[in-house]
Amino acid sequence: MTDISRRIMLKATGGLAASVAAPAVIKSRAFAADTIEVGALHDSSGSHSIYGKEMDDAVKLAVEEVNADGGVLGKQLNLSAFDTGSNMQNYAQFAQRLVTSQEASVVFGGVSSASREVIRPIFNRFKTLYFYNTFYEGGVCDKNTFVMAETPAQMISPSMTQLIKTKGIKRIYTMWADYNYGYICSTWLEKLAQDLGAELIEKEFFPLDVTDFSATITKIQDADPDLVVSGLVGGNHIGFYRQWPAAGMLGRIPVHCTVFGPWEKNLLQASEIEGLTTSYHYYQPIDSPANAAFLERWAKRFGADHPEIGTLAVCSYNAVFIWKKAVEAVGSLDREEIIAALETGIGFDGPGGHMKVHKETHHAVMPIALAEVRDGVFNIIDERDNVEPADTVAVCDLIANPSLSTQFQP
């Protein structure tokens, strides 16, 4: 999940004591020679827990399934899964532990972009393979890092192309959270809209602590756009989705959200978000045998009454199996060989369809679904296969420049 800049996040968490909790470990370390060490870093508690909990659960489920099926290279996976508590100091501390005393071969984790940028240099320095599985603003270009989640080009382009072409949309009013994700996505959307013959008539940016959107709703009423696009993030911004219908606007102007998932939907009444559209790789209601089987396993592991899950869980789950396939392709835990194998386009048929590695960017190529909320349920109204991370493709080529370890602005 994208978040405020690392500097701001560190300032916000600097006064908090870094909690040192023992990791949740799947399988005893008693026979280390017969195990492969795997790490996970997710916010199962704290401000980002509505996102991090399902990611942590997904990695645990994937590791358990791998072990039940014989492990990797004939060895069981030993998972050390830390709850980082939405605290950047914890991320740094636990990442250091994973690469030193735990000697992890691979780490899955990071929720916010701030957390990713805290731990990515640590994994690079210790040459520990890293998978980041949260949709984000795009542009990470790092030989050692693989991103198995959506970028703006994958979340925004297919959905907006469909909406603009089928709804005759010409004028778009946009509102964003005030940090890097909002600015980068607004620029990407503006270019896309222009290419499709539409225009952004307004771009507003809101700090994460804003809760009152009455003035903005009045501005939208006066502007009378064809579509409102929201990139609002977090609990405070939930206020917009409550105030919009209260102002009598529900159904008058359609709303599309670039970051709205089951995590927010679970906090709102169905009547407050009727007709809202959004797009991701995965939605729980996807109708396929693979998804039905996955949800059955998820319910068996985490309870039939588990909260609705979304793309964060599935991207995290897929990443474990994509890594497994690469290791088995080369028959060793050599990091360079695994990276080379991943760059051949290794993929996995997951609950949301086939996801594979894009070799030049180390991001994912994946199916994307456009969904509309009806009676509190995400209904799939359009699907696209093999959607590439076009924004990151434009700035990153790790085959031509394998020494890169940076984040570009797409």
pLDDT at position 1: 55
**What's the residue count for the chain?**
410
**What confidence tier does 188 reach under pLDDT thresholds 50, 70, 90?**
confident
Name the more confident of 188 and 326.
Answer: 326
pLDDT at position 25: 46
pLDDT at position 377: 96
CATH number of 6-151+311-366+390-402: 3.40.50.2300
- What residue segments make up the domains of the chain, in order of their start? 6-151+311-366+390-402, 157-257
Residue 329 half-sphere exposure toward CB, CA atoms < 13 A: 19
Measure CA 385 to chain center.
Answer: 18
Q: Residue 267 corresponds to which amino acid?
A: L
**Residue pair 329/292 in contact by the 8 Å Cβ criterion:** no
CA distance 88 to 72: 31
CA distance 307 to 263: 9
Chain segment 249-278, per-residue pLDDT in tens:
999 999 999 989 998 898 899 999 999 999
**Hey, which residues does 204 pair with through a beta bridge?**
175
Rounded to 5 degrees, what are φ and ψ at 259? -135, 20
Contacts of 77 (CB under 8 A, 6+ apart): 26, 27, 35, 36, 38, 63, 66, 67, 71
Least-confidence region, from 114-118, 164-168, 196-200: 164-168
Once rounded to an integer, what is the mean pLDDT over residues 149-177? 92
Percent of the chain with pLDDT over 90: 80
**Residue pair 72/324 in contact by the 8 Å Cβ criterion:** yes
pLDDT at position 20: 40
Largest Cα–Cα distance of the chain, in whole Å? 68
| pLDDT at 152 > cutoff 50 | yes
Other CB atoms closer than 10 Å to residue 388's CB: what's the count? 18
Sign of CA dihedral 49, 54, 59, 61: positive
Chain segment 318-363, per-residue pLDDT in tens:
999 999 999 999 999 999 999 999 999 999 999 999 999 999 999 9
Domain 6-151+311-366+390-402 and domain 157-257, same fold? Reply is yes
| pLDDT at 211 > cutoff 70 | yes
CA distance 410 to 393: 9
Q: For domain 157-257, which CATH number applies: 3.40.50.2300, 1.10.760.10, 3.90.1510.10, 3.40.50.720?
A: 3.40.50.2300
Once rounded to an integer, what is the mean pLDDT over residues 78-91? 97
Residue 250 half-sphere exposure toward CB, CA atoms < 13 A: 16
CA distance 172 to 164: 10
| pLDDT at 2 > cutoff 70 | no
Q: Which of 161, 147, 90, 158 is nearest to 122 (CA)?
A: 90
Helix (H, G, I), strand (E, B) or coil at 276: coil
| pLDDT at 23 > cutoff 60 | no
**What confidence tier does 17 reach under pLDDT thresholds 50, 70, 90?**
very low
| pLDDT at 8 > cutoff 90 | no
**Residue pair 94/122 in contact by the 8 Å Cβ criterion:** no
What does R_g of the chain's alpha carbons equal in angstroms? Answer: 21
